[in-house]
């Protein structure tokens, strides 16, 4: 009964939201929102799975048709959340999970305030530094900047409904599954059809 729910999983880069979402997909029947981008596919990335890889022209056409829930340009590449795919799944009663950075999540909240917003936190800044360093792709200075940004981003947490510390992925996923289940028990408009049924019975 009723529509599906949109779960927005967000957090600073390095907190592991990607890994969490992958496990959510494996363990529940939630559907993933796949983003559209103009950046080139990296080794191993699959079109339609990791991203929809499109040309600048296609992307800008989609913008012109109001086809994104949100989009942004980052270092010369576009990234966006296609609106139709998300809304049609929700309409069919399927839950959708959307992995996105803080700025994107805040834009989603404006256009779809009924979404459920989950902030993924690192266990500590030390641990976040370790994780970013582990990726091996950035200089110590760049890492300091990234950590400073992460701290700024955390201040938006009061726009979110839930926060989950990603200490162990397995536990974080358990918590998000509990959130998903609980949100299906929320008092919402759906319940009024059940109450109408009660009335007809009496």
Vertex 11: Cα angle to 42 and 24 (nearest 5): 70
Which positions touch a copy of itself (CB under 8 A)? Answer: 118-119, 121, 124-126, 147-148, 151, 154-155, 157-158, 160-165, 174-175, 177-179, 181-183, 185-187, 191, 194-195, 197-199, 201-202
State the Cα–Cα distance between residues 54 and 64, nearest whole angstrom. Answer: 15
Closest to a copy of itself by CB, 49 vs 202, is 202
- Residue 157 CB, nearest distance to a copy of itself (Å)? 6
C-alpha 165/C-alpha 196 separation (Å) is 41
Rounded to a whole number of angstroms, the minimum distance from the CB of residue 189 to a copy of itself is 10
In the complex, least distance from residue 83 CB atom to a copy of itself, rounded to whole angstroms: 27
* Structure token pair of residue 75: 């270092």
DSSP secondary structure code for residue 51 in this structure:
E
Cβ proximity to a copy of itself: between 1 and 64 the closer is 1
Strands 77-82 and 51-53 turn out to be: unpaired
Q: Which is nearer to a copy of itself, 72 or 179 (CB)?
A: 179
CA distances from 51 to 35, 80, 81, 89 (A): 5, 10, 10, 17
Nearer Cβ to a copy of itself (85/173): 173
Task: Report the nearest approach of a copy of itself to the CB of residue 184 (Å).
Answer: 8
């Amino acid at each position: 009964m009723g529509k599906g729910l949109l779960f927005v999983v967000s957090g600073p880069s390095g907190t592991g939201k990607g890994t969490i979402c992958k496990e959510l997909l494996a363990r529940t029947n939630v559907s993933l929102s796949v983003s559209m981008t103009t950046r080139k596919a990296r080794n191993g990335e699959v079109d339609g799975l990791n991203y929809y890889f499109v040309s600048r022209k296609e992307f800008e056409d989609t913008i012109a048709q109001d086809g994104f829930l949100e989009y942004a340009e980052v270092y010369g590449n576009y990234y966006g959340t296609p609106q139709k795919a998300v809304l049609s799944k929700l309409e069919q009663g399927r839950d959708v999970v959307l992995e996105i950075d803080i700025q994107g999540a805040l834009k989603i909240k404006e256009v779809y305030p009924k979404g459920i917003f989950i902030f993924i936190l690192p266990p500590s800044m030390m641990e976040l530094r370790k994780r970013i360093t582990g990726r091996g792709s950035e200089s110590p200075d760049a890492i300091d900047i990234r950590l400073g940004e992460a701290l700024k981003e955390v201040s938006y947490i009061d726009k979110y409904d839930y926060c989950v510390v990603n200490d162990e992925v397995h536990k974080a996923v358990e918590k998000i599954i509990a959130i998903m289940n609980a949100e299906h028990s929320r008092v919402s408009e759906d319940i009024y059809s059940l109450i109408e049924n009660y009335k007809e019975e009496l």
